[in-house]
Amino acid sequence: MNKPVDLRSDTVTLPSPSMRRAMYEAELGDDGYGEDRTVTRLHEMVAERVGKEAALMTPSGCMANLIALLTFCDRGNEVILGRQTDMYLWEVGAMSAVGGIFPNPLENELDGTIDLAALEASLRPEDVHFPRTRLICLENSHNLSGGTPLTPGYIGQVKAVADRHHLPLYLDGARLFNAAVALNVDPLEITRHVDALMFCFSKGLSCPVGSIICGSRSYIEEAHRHRKMLGGQMRQAGVIAAAAIVAMTEMVERLADDHKHARLLASGLLELDGLEVRPEKPQTNIVFFRPARAGISTEALASRLEVAGVRTLPMGSWLRAVTHFGIEADDIHRALQIIAVEWKAVSR
């Protein structure tokens, strides 16, 4: 029996053989005391790669974002971010529940950007009735826009707004390297515009666990305190960091293959009459599709596909399919054959 084609997320990736070997052989120490040399090496490597002074590994992207917000903001402060960003939609309201931080969500355009005029108009004047605006956040690549990358030019424009109002700019760069590869730019072209950022090792970079925050040395020192507060300090964490080091050296350039496979998937889906596909020409590794007419249940279609051997993720009225390490062109062709059969069955 064929193994299911699992397109739910790039978090389902398994570590490569070289990652497993590096994890087994990692030099370890107690990172709580700053004695894990593998973690230290990762921090130095990542900080240099994204042009920041320091970095801090965390167990998850959700925790990384929360630590970052707690480091920038006090209780009662306001954060400006997109209404369709992961930080606003999918992180359990952590900024409010844990940090007492007030989100001010603005509409995202179809490409994941926020209108610059709307952004500037949303910034609060100093008034006893208002929360103090303390931070602007962006997401790159932008998940719900189909993995669309935000360009360095756009991020630079947002930074100019932030600078005029003496505000820091933070980047949820969970799929930062997908964005950089898709745009064919050095990640530094993106990260130079932001004061701090995070990215995930456990998505397209194929690590079993882990994310990382990057910023100035003083910022990371304070972030370290918040990581400890949230229970994110780990001990012999080099077993995780070793896989991340392999990811940084071996897994970035191959993201172009994932992007190619996403375009192959979108192209095949567009040939099926009655399916709506977004984006039609994906730039990174995320494709959304759904029935173009009412009366056909997206959940029912997802269930049929899973039984037949293709796993997707229902998100509202859409099904999300994400290409990743372990998915090859043959898998995409097999997935398209299965989707064609199941779609024909439910759309009669």
Tell me the pLDDT tens digit for each residue of 124-180: 999 999 999 999 999 999 999 999 999 999 999 999 999 999 999 999 999 999 999
Give the pLDDT band (50/70/90) at residue 75.
very high
Is residue 89 domain-shared with residue 154, that is, in the same domain? yes
Is residue 129 domain-shared with residue 235, that is, in the same domain? yes
Is residue 270 domain-shared with residue 195, that is, in the same domain? no
Question: 7 lies in a domain?
Answer: no
Is residue 236 domain-shared with residue 259, that is, in the same domain? no
Residues 270/280, Cβ–Cβ less than 8 Å: yes
Question: 50 lies in a domain?
Answer: yes
Four-point Cα dihedral 60, 65, 66, 68, nearest 10: 120
CATH of the domain at 322: 3.90.1150.10
Instruction: Choose one of 219, 251, 283: the last residue of a domain.
Output: 251
Long-range contacts of 18-23 (CB under 8 A, 24+ apart): 18/246, 18/250, 19/206, 19/207, 19/208, 19/242, 19/243, 19/246, 19/247, 20/243, 22/242, 22/243, 22/245, 22/246, 23/239, 23/240, 23/242, 23/243
Whether this prediction's pTM lies above 0.95 is answered by yes
Question: 5 lies in a domain?
Answer: no
Question: 141 lies in a domain?
Answer: yes
List, for residues 27-48, the tens digit of each pLDDT value. Answer: 999 999 999 999 999 999 999 9
Count of the separate structural domains present in the chain: 2
Question: 265 lies in a domain?
Answer: yes
Is residue 192 domain-shared with residue 302, that is, in the same domain? no
Is residue 45 domain-shared with residue 191, that is, in the same domain? yes
Percent of the chain with pLDDT over 70: 100
Is residue 176 domain-shared with residue 294, that is, in the same domain? no
Instruction: Choose one of 251, 271, 299: the last residue of a domain.
Output: 251
pLDDT for residue 1: 62
Question: What rounded mean pLDDT belongs to the chain?
Answer: 97
CATH of the domain at 107: 3.40.640.10
Is residue 260 domain-shared with residue 220, that is, in the same domain? no
Please say if the pLDDT value at position 294 is more than 80. no
Question: 31 lies in a domain?
Answer: yes
pLDDT for residue 270: 98
Is residue 269 domain-shared with residue 246, that is, in the same domain? no
The whole domain housing 313 covers 254-346
Give the pLDDT band (50/70/90) at residue 293.
confident
Question: 76 lies in a domain?
Answer: yes
Is residue 93 domain-shared with residue 211, that is, in the same domain? yes
Cis previous bond, 279, omega within 30: yes
Instruction: Choose one of 208, 232, 251: the last residue of a domain.
Output: 251
Is residue 126 domain-shared with residue 266, that is, in the same domain? no
Please say if the pLDDT value at position 347 is more than 90. no
List, for residues 5-26, the tens digit of each pLDDT value. Answer: 999 999 999 999 999 999 999 9
Average pLDDT over residues 257-261: 98
pLDDT for residue 295: 81
Question: 4 lies in a domain?
Answer: no
Is residue 195 domain-shared with residue 262, that is, in the same domain? no
Alpha carbon distances (Å) from 60 to 55, 187, 201: 14, 21, 9
Please say if the pLDDT value at position 83 is more than 90. yes
